[in-house]
Chains A and B, each alone.
Chain A
């Protein structure tokens, strides 16, 4: 529309490239005359925002007014999430797991156990999620990350027999292919955690921990599959051997539930999804809320964490933690997001006020200012 209008105007004052002679004479075509089109003459409609006080000031205020409530909402939500964290590494002489942390062998047959008591100051309602956390553990190490064979984990039989080279040096052991191969699988977290409630009267009640539903659905059903289906894993994994650091073969990971064995063991799946940062937490168990929902899932009081201490972290100065947490619509406890929103919102609002003052005071001075020579 715009272009055509321009052309018409152009032809009035200026002869265009092709003109017909008035007397019906010859028609001349000027070969080199550029086309007078909107594209070639760079006249295509364009819009560029021009920043003026009238547009910038409201924008600042609007941003401020939107962000601050969002931030407050997020912050309050995050505040309401209850979280409890306990370090059971046993670095201090006084801590109960000190002994276990000192004498350590990867696959010792006699497990070292220790009990860590702790107190919850407030009751945890709804489903409570139990995590284990590791610090200073570089699951993001470049070669560590690659040291796995995804097709083997997906149940591919040829890969089971002949794992990828990426798994080296955890590819074969005693001329038998390792299943699952690779450094990630080899370093599977193998502490066993148990949680007990200490009644005020002193009796220990085991808290039921659900070990299913902690892995991603896609991981469990798509990415990880057992070779040859789920029946008779012993046969399926016959020609293979367990990773060197493991105590049990992969098909015996969960003695209680036969469907949770092999590559589709959920603890294994969770571990195989490597963490991006050296300090991370991974979901371990879920404590489901009481069916009647009358009493909190975890009432306040004394608890004991029973640890079968298998996983060594002393060599790399790592830490092991157990975390209990509830969740909300925004996920786990995360005060940062709320604070960020509040900060940005208030900065914008403040700037808005400052600019408004400046504009009010000095705004009408340079209204007609030319670009200086």
Chain B
């Protein structure tokens, strides 16, 4: 039905549109009925056309219903203040109740007190609140005025140019020109950017607090890409969704007159209240203005949650009401009966009502008299007390983070006491228990492990330094705080940066240039400076020397190059430099001198697809690794493929020769013509081994150091701004090996490869990361082979599954692949045991036809308005199959300080701690051990199974085991040992099903801790929900990333950790802390205090009111 409507609408629009375009004169000045019709029928969509374009009349018809850009956040105006405010105030139950009592008092027959006097409290309360509201409203009014009177450069049809206008005069369909650092006045579709690549950067700090730059692009197929846009000539119409509050979604299309449509998506939309950065000027057309802009629609007040205590209180108050009614009824009936028994008495007022009526009157009188029984004032008092408690929590020095200069934020104002009632704590792992400062630790490529010993030592040093840093961090504050002014959420890393580079940067300190202070997230030296593995570096250096064409070695080399290529480009990192802050490095011309050697490399990569490895048995590969250097040197005597060897040609331009100590080797390669000397070389190997052993490691170490040193001044200019820390870590790792990502535009990437200089990689597509796919991919045209290549990076489980299908013996390199797979899996397990986060890198070469077919689907998905997400997802899934595994990386993530102590304290307090993580089981267990969630004496229960039946049996088995062990132990519960359940995502899926959830919960109740690994965000929230609803306990969820948002929202108390991964978790949380250790004091001290104090106060209130009420008359 919906589709039918849509089709009909489209049709109508087309009809009307065509008529308009074909015969503009025939159209009457009045709006055609069709147009109105479309307007009404579309309902969920809006049409935007240029205000000063050729279609004035149509503009007025269409845009009549659209709001202007004036905003009004005030609730009242001067006239409506008194009635509106009173109306608002009487929304409160308490006020309504008081009003009711006052009115009752005005009824003469039930009057109990002096009616004028009883009004005083109510009137005073109303007046005080009204004054407060008026002041607040006035402040809002002033603020609105300020915003509305900001100026923006808006195209004026009269002047045929851009003139400054107030924000409030901006209308939908206006053209706006914005320059750098200006704030965007309305939601604007980007039509032109001064940037030649048609991108512009915005900072959304005003919106979500994230200070990294987001890239936005000009609408595709915009004809005037370079020249300034002329609004008169803009005839296209924009169809987009009706205003909504989804910041991350914008769907629509732009229709050129008589031409095809161009899809619009979120990347084309500049949101109101964001800031333009690093782009000189941009021009856009307003699509949503004022209150219809996405930023304004997202403006919702603070969250309202009701605490358990309050829910209980409500029930108690209801009982009080019942008590009051019963009391009043009793008195009324008693009064009636008593009256009916007395005929005449001197103390009775004659002419009074009949006994029944008198009883009825008395009922109301008694309600007035006993009104205190209902502790309405309690609600006001509780609010005041809670404000006080929040004041104290926010002012706690122990919950203050020195490094970030951030306090705890209480976002929900009325659940402080719930903190003291938490029974289950659900924690995310990454960024919550750990620092989320990712540092590249080691990797495996093509089945060969590179342990990076040097790197491990380096990381240890940082860890030590970090500990010392807390002691003397105050000496660095001048630097840190200056930066924290510019970008708050990022300052976490800075103290460490400044600490380690203090001596180096001493001269930097003097001129306080703002650019110097712009440090990016995830760029502390711990994450940045990676010590390369000598062996790997040596292998990679083969690329820059002409020796790379050795068959077996080159096969591995292509793997390695591809691997680093993937690390460097398979991401969404934005590159900027100090000189050109957050700008893309200009694409330099590739020196023609190099082309020859590039041709050779091309050959090499083309050969990658050929069955060269088929002759190689899997066991050989490791051998190759060991004998690699030997063969390398052995080939000196053999022929090489480089026809015109030139050392300079293989070196990057302008770079001094980094290998002065290898002259003989380099020299020896000169002049070699053919690459067939493998056998010969191996025969000669023996004579070279001695030399190799002595000289090569020395030289390699030497060389790497020199290279690093030389490349430093240049490389240091680059700053990577990543959305997630592991992305940054991997890019830095690639850079350490000379594969430097130098720049990024919408359609190109600039990558420097060792020995090849800068290469322009045409970027075809980015399939961004999402939590269901658990991977991201980039589609590029390989600069060397010109093939379409897909690089995929993702969680090992999914990527391994994708490669699985590729493993078939028929395929020529199937054996090699299988070998790589097996080895990599082994290494991955090792990494996980070490507690590293693992990512797999894979690639896939697409045939042109294959790509064409896929491209069609992708374009369709991109341009479609309905189901765009699903279609895109489908398209991505279609692409990411049959990939070749290149290798895997291990990224280390340090545990936050005092995490073990905190968890132990919480467990001692009877809080059950569950860890829900997306990581591998081994990694999760490792971290759990490290943070003392899992003790050596604990009994580990592992639940991994593949089907529901198995899962059921397993749960029952485990339950039996637990019970028997408990029975064995007797009734003296041993504190030192307990059960810990480890369950993986797939099993969790079964366990969460309706019929098994009871077993699962029963089992988990016996366990002191539960670790769910490999869980998706949805599973996390379902686990929390299950525990909360079934066990009826108070739950707290703590997390830092977007994947924890659903869990945080489901839990009774959601705690966000403001860390490295943006602000989403914080935005949806009730409390935002900066370190996990703060939970300890927050729960065990503040929660306890808040709860006992409030509970005592409430009890006393009830006591007091019951005590007072009989004495009132």
Contacts and interface: CB of A to CB of B under 8 A. Distances in A.
A316 B339 CA distance: 10
Nearest to B406: A32
Contacts of A218: none
Contacts of A137: 345-347
Interface string B404-420: 01110000000000000
A42 B347 contact: no
A169 B342 contact: no
B910 interface: yes
A30 B477 contact: yes
Contact of B347 (A33, A144, A312): A144
A9 interface: no
B475 interface: yes
B687 interface: no
B350 A169 contact: yes
Given A19-B474, A144-B349, A34 B343 contact: no
A365 interface: no
Interface in A35-53: 35-36, 40-42
Interface residues of A, number: 37
B351 A169 contact: yes
Given A25-B478, A33-B405, A315-B343, A141 B348 contact: yes
A143 B475 CA distance: 80
Contacts of B365: 142
Contacts of B350: 169
Contacts of A22: 475
A241 interface: no
Interface string B1092-1113: 0000000000000000000001
Interface stretch (B389-397, B654-662, B979-987): B389-397
Contact of B481 (A10, A30, A34, A147): A30
Contacts of B1: none
A32 B407 contact: yes
Nearest to B485: A31
A313 to B, nearest CB: 8
Contacts of A315: 342-345
A364 interface: no
B858 to A, nearest CB: 47
B400 A28 contact: no
A140 to B, nearest CB: 9
Secondary structure of the B contact surface, majority rule: loop
B904 interface: no
A36 B392 CA distance: 12
Interface string A135-156: 0011101111001000000000
Nearest to B394: A34
Q: Could you say which interface size class chain B belongs to?
A: 35 or more
A26 interface: yes
Interface string B379-407: 00000000000001011110010100111
B908 A373 contact: yes
A31 B405 contact: yes
A229 interface: no
Nearest to B973: A373
Contact of A316 (B112, B345, B481, B910): B345
Choose among A32, A147, A245 the residue with the greatest number of B CB atoms under 10 Å from its CB: A32
Contact of B348 (A30, A144, A373): A144
B975 interface: yes
A169 B407 contact: no
A253 interface: no
Contacts of A30: 402, 405, 477, 481
B478 A21 contact: yes
A34 B349 contact: no
A331 interface: no
A346 interface: no
A147 B365 CA distance: 17
Choose among B351, B352, B397, B473 the residue with the greatest number of A CB atoms under 10 Å from its CB: B397
A33 B346 CA distance: 74
B585 to A, nearest CB: 34
Secondary structure of the A contact surface, majority rule: loop
A113 interface: no
Contacts of A245: 346
A40 B392 contact: yes
B477 A28 contact: yes
Contact of B346 (A15, A31, A42, A186): A186
Contacts of A33: 397, 400, 402, 405, 407
Nearest to A184: B347
Contacts of B1113: 142
A187 interface: yes
A144 B477 CA distance: 79
A183 interface: yes
Given A15-B474, A32-B400, A32-B407, A183 B347 contact: yes
Given A21-B475, A21-B478, A143-B352, A35 B395 contact: yes
A241 B908 CA distance: 85
B400 A34 contact: yes
Contacts of A25: 478
A144 B347 CA distance: 6
B344 A15 contact: no
A36 B474 CA distance: 17
Given A15-B402, A142-B365, A315-B344, A183 B478 contact: no
Nearest to B399: A34
A316 B344 CA distance: 7
A29 B474 CA distance: 11
A306 B392 CA distance: 77
B405 A373 contact: no
A107 to B, nearest CB: 13
Nearest to A188: B346
A141 B975 CA distance: 67
A144 B402 CA distance: 72
A263 B805 CA distance: 113
Nearest to A139: B347
Contact of B473 (A15, A34, A40): A15
A333 B321 CA distance: 42
A315 B341 CA distance: 10
B475 A138 contact: no
Contact of B477 (A19, A143, A169, A373): A19
Nearest to B349: A143
Contacts of B392: 40, 42
A49 to B, nearest CB: 15
Contacts of B396: 34, 40-41
A315 B346 CA distance: 9
24 contacts: A15-B402, A19-B474, A19-B477, A21-B475, A22-B475, A25-B478, A26-B478, A28-B481, A32-B405, A35-B395, A41-B395, A137-B345, A137-B346, A138-B345, A142-B112, A142-B365, A144-B347, A144-B348, A169-B350, A187-B346, A315-B342, A316-B344, A316-B345, A373-B910
Q: Which 10 A-B pairs have the closest CB atoms?
A: A187-B346, A316-B345, A28-B477, A34-B395, A15-B474, A40-B395, A315-B344, A26-B478, A19-B474, A144-B347
Given A33-B397, A137-B347, 5 more contacts: A31-B405, A33-B405, A138-B347, A142-B112, A144-B349
Interface of B: 112, 342-352, 365, 392, 394-397, 400, 402, 405-407, 473-475, 477-478, 481, 908, 910, 973, 975, 1089, 1113
